[in-house]
Structure 1
């Protein structure tokens, strides 16, 4: 059992184009068999279950190094980083975030991804600790450009792990409601992976209750295909809700604004105009 050795250690990390994450940190001399622990943060009081333990290898004249390979993929969620002085350590030390080289992720949306689509983005928590944000989805729809006009909003997107088939539809669902959604036909590119769709502001406003609501955006790649959430995941931004703010549009007495949720999924909020 450790009692704080390694406390305050900072982890530098580099991500390459294949998704490999190289993590480097100084290891205290007392650590006999040091390892780096990634532990899935529990949701809603659930017990901690998933973890990934990586060996820390000594490097001549430099910090020790651990490598998180692309496979096997990590379960979707947020993984916190800890130092273990040996694999049986029952008091892991939380690691702080150092430099993060994420340049290989910036243009990640330009590369087509096979199914399942696995995404991993290292980031610093509000307290300054290192964590890795992960998504793991059989099929993914990556949101691209969002153009907000006076009467409609047009979104470009791209499918990863699937292609658009006959009967494909973009469906907006009112969150928390079992009522009918709003269907929009996608306009596909030549390879039937890229596409665009346009949402009419007045139509969406007419389907929203007087108290307002949120419409979540999905794509059905084919007539009998399950829905796929539209999101923005394939770059270096782990949390985009507060940093990507789109302009609001007016329709009658309401304002509509496209935004990204805490999970980086695309939604449209409709509320009374101020």
Structure 2
């Protein structure tokens, strides 16, 4: 992005920067600092990052309204919900530029940190967390799920872990189980009783030895075996992925780290994936 340096020559201009406030009703207020001519009609573009090998689709455009000297703002309403994924933020309408990535400014996520920031009773459940990407840009992480099992406290003790959580869009009923599915073709399934702790809350305990039965552990040098954790709220019901979405953390994998348990030559540890879903990893340890 280029512009005037004030001495009649052209030089680099400050790149637009976006500050975001998550409001209690779930709306995102985006304030953009950008030195644009008075005749400019800029727009905020939220562009869904395509999956590998897929083309980019049309993004979500919002008009940026003047809000002071070199200040513009737009409001992303709570509905319609963003499709699940990562949405990169750009300014469109900058003279001489197709689109300019927004640098991250202040992000006020207090409503998310305190469990507000949207209607938790809505179906599907929609969550949006503004964050700074690894390459220093502003983006929004979005989830949209018809039913959701929010992970709470994870306790690792001995050769087992106990998980507490809360269901949204479903209720625990007779025949409810925690259902762990091994990734890959011909994947195995392990089920554990689900204990209802009220209308929405639940808990379950996973014995690690059950994940190693029938030769399910990997050999030394092989890739780890991953078990994705679900809840089946009732007998015959569709399973619901267990994840941690309802706070202000867009990328939980490196933030919440749980201890590994060594069982013979196998190491077992719970963890959050890049999508903040909850899984269990089994890794073979080399003999000492």
TM-score of the superposed pair, with normalisation by structure 1: 0.91
Give the drift of 1:179: 4.2
Give the drift of 1:189: 1.3
Q: Is the 8 A contact 2:46 2:88 kept in 1?
A: yes
Give the drift of 1:109: 7.9
**In the superposition, relative to structure 1, how do residues 120 and 43 fare at CA in structure 2: closer, same or farther (>3 Å)?**
same
| Cross-structure match for 1:105 | 112
Q: After TM superposition, where is structure 1 displaced by more than 6 Å over at least 4 residues in a row? A: none
Q: Please point out which of 46, 56, 66 is paired with 1:58.
A: 66
**In the superposition, relative to structure 1, how do residues 13 and 134 fare at CA in structure 2: closer, same or farther (>3 Å)?**
same
Name the SS for the 2:275 alignment partner.
coil
Deviations 1:161-198 (A, max 9, x none): 1111222211111111424311011101121x110000
Q: Distance in 2 between matches of 1:114 and 1:8?
A: 37
Q: Is the 8 A contact 1:156 1:195 kept in 2?
A: yes
Deviations 1:178-226 (A, max 9, x none): 24311011101121x1100000122222252342511110111122221
Name the SS for the 1:43 alignment partner.
coil
Q: Does 1:253 align with 2:260?
A: no
| Cross-structure match for 1:37 | 45
| Cross-structure match for 1:201 | 208
Q: Which structure 2 residue ranges, 5 or more long, are not aligned? A: 4-12
Name the SS for the 1:250 alignment partner.
strand
| Aligned-residue CA RMSD (Å) | 2.2
Q: Which moved more, 1:209-218 or 1:101-110?
A: 101-110
The alignment of Structure 1 onto Structure 2 pairs a total of residues equal to 270
TM-score of the superposed pair, with normalisation by structure 2: 0.87
Give the drift of 1:62: 6.7
Q: Distance in 2 between matches of 1:229 and 1:8?
A: 39
Deviations 1:82-136 (A, max 9, x none): 11127x9971111110111111101328984332010100000111100000011
| Cross-structure match for 1:230 | 242
**In the superposition, relative to structure 1, how do residues 109 and 60 fare at CA in structure 2: closer, same or farther (>3 Å)?**
closer
| Cross-structure match for 2:30 | 23
Give the drift of 1:59: 1.6
Q: Is the 8 A contact 2:34 2:70 kept in 1?
A: no
| Cross-structure match for 1:243 | 255
Alignment of structure 1 residues 161-172 onto 2, 5 Å: 161-172=169-180
Q: Which structure 1 residue ranges, 5 or more long, are not aligned? A: none
Which has the higher Rg, Structure 1 or Structure 2? 2
Q: Please point out which of 158, 179, 183 is paired with 2:191.
A: 183
| Cross-structure match for 1:10 | 17
| Cross-structure match for 1:79 | 87
